[in-house]
Protein backbone atom coordinates (compact mmCIF):
# COMPACT_ATOMS: atom_id res chain seq x y z
CA UNK A 1 0.00 0.00 0.00
CA UNK A 2 2.89 2.38 0.57
CA UNK A 3 3.81 4.19 -2.66
CA UNK A 4 7.39 3.73 -3.84
CA UNK A 5 7.76 7.52 -4.07
CA UNK A 6 6.83 8.10 -0.42
CA UNK A 7 10.41 8.38 0.80
CA UNK A 8 11.34 10.79 -1.99
CA UNK A 9 8.32 12.98 -1.30
CA UNK A 10 9.06 13.03 2.44
CA UNK A 11 12.71 13.92 1.83
CA UNK A 12 11.64 16.78 -0.44
CA UNK A 13 9.19 18.06 2.19
CA UNK A 14 11.85 17.84 4.92
CA UNK A 15 14.24 19.83 2.72
CA UNK A 16 11.60 22.52 2.15
CA UNK A 17 10.88 22.68 5.89
CA UNK A 18 14.59 23.14 6.61
CA UNK A 19 14.66 26.03 4.13
CA UNK A 20 11.70 27.63 5.92
CA UNK A 21 13.47 27.14 9.26
CA UNK A 22 16.55 28.88 7.86
CA UNK A 23 14.38 31.77 6.67
CA UNK A 24 12.88 32.01 10.15
CA UNK A 25 16.28 31.99 11.85
CA UNK A 26 17.45 34.68 9.40
CA UNK A 27 14.42 36.80 10.24
CA UNK A 28 12.92 36.62 6.75
CA UNK A 29 9.63 35.11 7.95
CA UNK A 30 7.66 35.42 11.17
CA UNK A 31 6.74 32.52 13.46
CA UNK A 32 3.19 32.56 12.10
CA UNK A 33 4.38 32.50 8.50
CA UNK A 34 6.77 29.67 9.31
CA UNK A 35 3.98 27.65 10.91
CA UNK A 36 1.61 28.18 7.98
CA UNK A 37 4.26 27.29 5.41
CA UNK A 38 5.31 24.13 7.25
CA UNK A 39 1.70 22.98 7.60
CA UNK A 40 1.16 23.69 3.90
CA UNK A 41 4.28 21.75 2.88
CA UNK A 42 3.29 18.68 4.91
CA UNK A 43 -0.32 18.94 3.77
CA UNK A 44 0.74 18.90 0.12
CA UNK A 45 3.16 16.02 0.73
CA UNK A 46 0.45 14.00 2.46
CA UNK A 47 -2.04 14.70 -0.31
CA UNK A 48 0.46 13.65 -2.98
CA UNK A 49 1.32 10.42 -1.17
CA UNK A 50 -2.38 9.68 -0.68
CA UNK A 51 -3.09 10.35 -4.35
CA UNK A 52 -0.29 8.07 -5.47
CA UNK A 53 -1.43 5.35 -3.11
CA UNK A 54 -5.00 5.53 -4.42
CA UNK A 55 -3.69 5.50 -8.01
CA UNK A 56 -1.70 2.38 -7.15
CA UNK A 57 -4.76 0.71 -5.61
CA UNK A 58 -6.93 1.70 -8.57
CA UNK A 59 -5.25 -0.66 -11.04
CA UNK A 60 -3.69 -4.07 -10.86
CA UNK A 61 -1.45 -5.92 -13.24
CA UNK A 62 -2.88 -9.05 -14.82
CA UNK A 63 -2.18 -11.27 -17.80
CA UNK A 64 -4.38 -11.07 -20.87
CA UNK A 65 -5.26 -14.13 -22.93
CA UNK A 66 -2.01 -13.73 -24.91
CA UNK A 67 0.11 -13.79 -21.76
CA UNK A 68 0.90 -10.08 -21.95
CA UNK A 69 0.89 -8.05 -18.73
CA UNK A 70 -1.79 -5.35 -18.77
CA UNK A 71 -3.32 -2.96 -16.25
CA UNK A 72 -6.96 -3.42 -15.38
CA UNK A 73 -9.32 -1.79 -12.92
CA UNK A 74 -8.70 -3.24 -9.51
CA UNK A 75 -11.14 -5.19 -7.40
CA UNK A 76 -9.14 -4.25 -4.30
CA UNK A 77 -11.70 -4.06 -1.50
CA UNK A 78 -9.95 -1.16 0.25
CA UNK A 79 -9.96 0.90 -2.94
CA UNK A 80 -13.58 0.05 -3.71
CA UNK A 81 -14.75 1.12 -0.23
CA UNK A 82 -12.84 4.41 -0.31
CA UNK A 83 -13.71 5.22 -3.92
CA UNK A 84 -17.42 4.56 -3.43
CA UNK A 85 -17.58 6.61 -0.24
CA UNK A 86 -19.60 3.84 1.39
CA UNK A 87 -16.92 2.98 3.94
CA UNK A 88 -14.04 5.22 4.80
CA UNK A 89 -12.53 7.90 2.66
CA UNK A 90 -9.32 8.50 0.76
CA UNK A 91 -8.08 10.50 3.77
CA UNK A 92 -8.62 7.54 6.07
CA UNK A 93 -7.06 5.15 3.61
CA UNK A 94 -4.11 7.55 3.33
CA UNK A 95 -3.33 6.76 6.95
CA UNK A 96 -2.57 3.21 5.83
CA UNK A 97 0.44 4.67 4.02
CA UNK A 98 1.70 6.03 7.31
CA UNK A 99 0.70 9.66 6.71
CA UNK A 100 -1.32 10.54 9.79
CA UNK A 101 -1.72 14.21 8.99
CA UNK A 102 -1.83 17.28 11.18
CA UNK A 103 -2.56 16.53 14.82
CA UNK A 104 -3.25 18.82 17.76
CA UNK A 105 -0.71 18.30 20.55
CA UNK A 106 0.82 15.06 19.19
CA UNK A 107 3.01 14.64 22.30
Q: Distance between CA 74 and CA 56 in Å, rounded?
A: 9
Domain boundaries, the chain: 4-97
What span, in angstroms and rounded, lies between the C-alpha atoms of 78 and 88? 9
Per-residue pLDDT of the chain (107 residues; tens, 9 = 90+): 677 888 999 999 999 999 999 999 999 999 999 999 999 999 899 888 888 888 888 878 778 888 888 887 777 777 777 777 776 777 777 776 666 666 666 55
- Given this model, what pLDDT does residue 54 score? 82
pLDDT for 58: 82
DSSP code per residue over 16-81 = HHHHHHHHHHTTSS-HHHHHHHHHHHHHHHHHHHHHHHHHHHHEEEEE-TTS-EEEEE---HHHHH
The model carries a pTM of 0.72
Residues 4-97, CATH architecture: Orthogonal Bundle (1.10)
Confidence (pLDDT) at 28? 96
Confidence (pLDDT) at 79? 74
Amino acid sequence: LVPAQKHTLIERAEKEVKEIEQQYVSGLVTAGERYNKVVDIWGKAGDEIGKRMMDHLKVEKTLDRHGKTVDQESFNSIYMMADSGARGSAAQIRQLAGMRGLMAKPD
